[in-house]
A and B are shown apart, each in its own frame.
Chain A
Amino acid sequence: NAGVTQTPKFQVLKTGQSMTLQCAQDMNHEYMSWYRQDPGMGLRLIHYSVGAGITDQGEVPNGYNVSRSTTEDFPLRLLSAAPSQTSVYFCASEGGYEQYFGPGTRLTVT
């Protein structure tokens, strides 16, 4: 079991560029989510999905899109990167009340 995997580990973008952060899990979990972590802010929920084909907004969804075409994959798309999106992004899947987090993507927008 690989658990939750994320790619890339690091990324630098210029303002206005778009990109997709990849997330996959092999635990057959229905619930998946994306968080961002900023100093002094804790983890904040961006988007989540309760199963394939179903997504919903979290606390800070603006500037991000998600899709869930399969149980395994939950990509996060930045539409037009802004410096305020500089953060560490964690994908998670939930099984039995436990959140399993991926290793994170460190994103810098210049």
Chain B
Amino acid sequence: RKEVEQDPGPFNVPEGATVAFNCTYSNSASQSFFWYRQDCRKEPKLLMSVYSSGNEDGRFTAQLNRASQYISLLIRDSKLSDSATYLCVVQSFGNEKLTFGTGTRLTIIP
């Protein structure tokens, strides 16, 4: 089983719709969680950290469920500029190393 698993998609979603991705992780010692965004042929960039209480940044909401070992990303009122690959990233306690999911590809359709 992969340490971090994501549905690769692609998700093709009309502009203005709401879309949600899930990501599951296998290491129960994982402590820090992130969503990164990667545009085509570009480097990954941090979208948001995921906190236990959940957090929101504009149209983006991230949630963590430790009991079921998954994190989610919700995008509301999707824009064409949201088209990208979204990477789920997990970090274990006391370990600098990150484990990346393979990414979920999202395309927003006009």
Contacts and interface: CB of A to CB of B under 8 A. Distances in A.
Nearest to A4: B43
Interface of B: 4, 8, 32, 34, 36, 42-46, 49, 87, 91, 96-98, 100-103
Interface string A63-81: 0000000000000000000
Contacts of A58: 97
Interface residues of A, number: 21
Contact of A98 (B43, B46, B96, B101): B46
Interface of A: 31, 33, 35, 40-45, 48, 50, 58, 90, 94, 97-99, 101-104
Contact of A42 (B42, B43, B45, B87): B87
A45 B103 CA distance: 16
Contact of B49 (A35, A42, A97): A97
A50 to B, nearest CB: 7
